[in-house]
């Protein structure tokens, strides 16, 4: 009943699932998370569309490392550790760019776009064998793989392959990736913000179908007032939650609001109605009625363990979040759009992205406040030490989207990974 780590209590007979609040506050737990989770799981790096052309690169932090995600002069994708083999300086210092290679600003060592050291120093500066074995080249991430244009790295050279790791989450990635006939693309711009709360609170919150009507009541009321709510009774009012394997989980439910991909609502304007309905019909032609309408009308919030969120709701969002300290995380968000999308639909999509999902939108500040309130509450953990995540446990069969099965899926995996060192 008490799991691998002693911090998750999973009583399937008594229908009680609890997580120790120490998991959100203890620096030793964070150290174990770095060792057992971030050093061994597949972590999202970026999307193919961010490095479309040869020489394109972006720099970012992934799993506590500084990395360069680039496409070399032959079109091959790499992830390099952004540290000079000479004395360690970061060799790429811009957030993004296009370059035939990289040159370290400190002493000038330079590298081809495939990471090879670009020249040998004149005789006498270094020993004959100095360049053997690539010791002057940029270091690469131990594993790098792609699924449907989403690139992931793994710092564990022996970890299972990406597709196996992704498990059933691939079905949901497909539902997003297939929305564009010519694929999907990250739209320029990348909000980065900090939350003074433990990173796992956002993992839970991202697939929490229980809080929206209370926490985001202002937004829901606003949507009703501007004509962006359209409940379609034929879709059924309920939703489902699913454990997708390996700690990945999702909720799926009929969209009560507009979806620029293919679900029109009055606030989008009459001038766009025909265009959006034509897009919905194309999805049905391409993928059949059941899947096409599912893509058009259903919302999906998915967490890929440990920290990648793909939200396919009023807009498409990709989001990662990393711990800085037990009570502090940094979040990065990207908007995902249909390649070749009509500018009017792209505008709606970006408006929705900012209106709800951006750090200054209607919803994210609500969530930030809720998460920080939880973290403050954990100061009482000696007297009040456990979270309750039991909702829906007695329900047989399909779980509802406002049950908490999806969060239990995350925590069972977390417990297994973290307990592997216990």
Report if residue 87 touches ligand FES, rule: CB under 6 A.
Answer: yes
Q: Which CB, 91 or 314, lies closer to ligand FES? A: 91
Cβ neighbours around 14 below 10 Å, total: 11
Report if residue 84 touches ligand FES, rule: CB under 6 A.
Answer: yes
E-assigned strands of 205-339?
240-245, 248-254, 298-304, 308-312, 316-325, 328-338
Report if residue 107 touches ligand FES, rule: CB under 6 A.
Answer: yes
The region of 103-111, 324-332, 350-358, 360-368 touching ligand FES under the rule CB under 6 A is 103-111
Report if residue 89 touches ligand FES, rule: CB under 6 A.
Answer: yes
Among residues 94, 301, 77, 69, the alpha carbon closest in space to that of 202 is found at: 301
Q: Which CB, 130 or 273, lies closer to ligand FES? A: 130
Q: Total residues contacting Fe ion (rule CB under 5 A)?
A: 1
Cβ neighbours around 28 below 10 Å, total: 9
Report if residue 109 touches ligand FES, rule: CB under 6 A.
Answer: yes
| Contact positions with ligand FES (CB under 6 A) in 199-238 | none
Contact 141, 67 (CB under 8 A): yes
Q: Interhelix angle for 405-419 vs 199-206, to 10°?
A: 150
Decide the pairing of beta strands 96-98 and 143-147. unpaired
Question: Between 328 and 367, how does the x/- string for binding to Fe ion read (CB under 5 A)?
Answer: ---------------------------------------x
344 binds, among Fe ion, ligand FES, none (CB under 5 to 8 A by kind): none
**Minimum gap (Å) between residue 86 Cβ and ligand FES:** 3
Q: Output phi, psi for 51, to 5 deg.
A: -130, 60
| Contact positions with Fe ion (CB under 5 A) in 360-379 | 367
Q: Which CB, 91 or 303, lies closer to ligand FES? A: 91
DSSP-assigned letter for residue 160: P
- Residue 168 to residue 112: CA distance in whole angstroms: 38
Decide the pairing of beta strands 16-20 and 386-388. antiparallel
- Residue 79 to residue 154: CA distance in whole angstroms: 10
Q: Which CB, 327 or 367, lies closer to Fe ion? A: 367
Q: Which CB, 86 or 291, lies closer to ligand FES? A: 86
**Minimum gap (Å) between residue 272 Cβ and ligand FES:** 52
**Minimum gap (Å) between residue 364 Cβ and Fe ion:** 8
Report if residue 312 touches Fe ion, rule: CB under 5 A.
Answer: no
- Residue 114 to residue 137: CA distance in whole angstroms: 9
305 binds, among Fe ion, ligand FES, none (CB under 5 to 8 A by kind): none
Q: How many CA atoms lie within 13 A of 2 on its CB side?
A: 5
Report if residue 2 touches ligand FES, rule: CB under 6 A.
Answer: no
Cα→Cα distances 283→153, 290, 293, 299, 343, Å: 32, 10, 7, 15, 19
Q: Given 3-state DSSP classes, what are the helix, strand and coil percentages for the chain, each rounded to the nearest 5? A: 35, 30, 40
CA torsion angle 201 205 210 216 (round to 10): 110
**Minimum gap (Å) between residue 370 Cβ and Fe ion:** 7
**Minimum gap (Å) between residue 60 Cβ and ligand FES:** 20
- Residue 62 to residue 46: CA distance in whole angstroms: 10
Report if residue 121 touches ligand FES, rule: CB under 6 A.
Answer: no
Q: Which CB, 82 or 307, lies closer to ligand FES? A: 82
* SS3 state at 24: helix
Q: Which CB, 67 or 201, lies closer to Fe ion? A: 201
Q: Scan for tokens 């079905």, then name that residue.
A: 171
367 binds, among ligand FES, Fe ion, none (CB under 5 to 8 A by kind): Fe ion
189 binds, among ligand FES, Fe ion, none (CB under 5 to 8 A by kind): none
86 binds, among ligand FES, Fe ion, none (CB under 5 to 8 A by kind): ligand FES
Report if residue 204 touches Fe ion, rule: CB under 5 A.
Answer: no
**Could you list the residues that contact Fe ion (CB under 5 A)?**
367
**Could you list the residues that contact ligand FES (CB under 6 A)?**
84, 86-89, 104, 106-109
């Amino acid at each position: 009943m008490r799991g691998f780590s002693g911090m998750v209590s999973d009583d399937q007979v008594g229908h009680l699932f609890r997580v120790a609040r120490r998991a959100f506050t203890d620096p030793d737990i964070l150290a174990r998370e770095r060792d057992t989770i971030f050093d061994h799981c597949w972590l999202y790096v970026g999307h193919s569309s961010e490095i479309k052309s040869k020489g394109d690169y972006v720099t970012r932090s992934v799993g506590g490392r500084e990395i360069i995600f680039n496409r070399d002069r032959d079109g091959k994708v790499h992830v390099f550790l952004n540290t000079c083999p000479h004395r360690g300086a970061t060799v790429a210092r811009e957030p993004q760019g296009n370059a035939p290679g990289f040159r370290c600003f400190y002493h000038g060592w330079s590298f081809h776009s495939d990471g090879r050291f670009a020249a040998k120093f004149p005789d006498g500066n270094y020993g004959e064998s100095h360049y053997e074995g690539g010791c002057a080249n940029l270091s690469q991430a131990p594993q790098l793989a792609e699924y449907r244009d989403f690139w992931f790295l793994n710092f564990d050279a022996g970890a299972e392959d990406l597709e196996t790791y992704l498990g059933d989450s691939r079905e949901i990635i497909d539902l997003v990736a297939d929305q564009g006939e010519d694929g999907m693309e990250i739209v320029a711009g990348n909000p980065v913000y900090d939350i003074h709360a433990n990173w796992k609170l956002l993992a839970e919150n991202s697939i929490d179908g229980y809080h929206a009507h209370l926490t985001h009541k202002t937004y829901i009321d606003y949507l009703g007032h501007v004509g962006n709510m359209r409940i379609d009774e034929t879709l059924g009012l309920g939703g489902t939650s699913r454990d997708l394997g390996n700690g990945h989980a999702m909720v799926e439910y009929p969209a009560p609001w507009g979806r620029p991909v293919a679900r029109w609502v009055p606030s989008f304007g009459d001038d766009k109605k025909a265009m959006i309905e034509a897009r919905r019909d194309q999805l049905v032609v391409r993928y059949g009625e059941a899947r096409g309408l599912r893509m058009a009308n259903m919302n999906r919030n998915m967490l890929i363990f440990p920290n990648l969120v793909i939200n396919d709701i009023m807009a498409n969002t990709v989001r990662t979040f990393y711990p800085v300290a037990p009570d502090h995380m940094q979040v990065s968000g990207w908007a995902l759009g249909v390649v070749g999308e009509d500018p009017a639909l792209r505008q709606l999509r970006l408006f929705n992205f900012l209106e709800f999902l951006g750090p200054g939108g209607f919803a994210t500040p609500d969530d930030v406040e809720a998460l920080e309130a939880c973290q403050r509450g954990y100061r009482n953990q000696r007297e009040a030490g456990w979270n309750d995540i039991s909702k829906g446990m007695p329900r047989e069969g399909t779980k509802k989207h406002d049950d908490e099965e999806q969060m239990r899926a995350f925590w069972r995996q977390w417990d297994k990974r973290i307990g592997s060192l216990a």
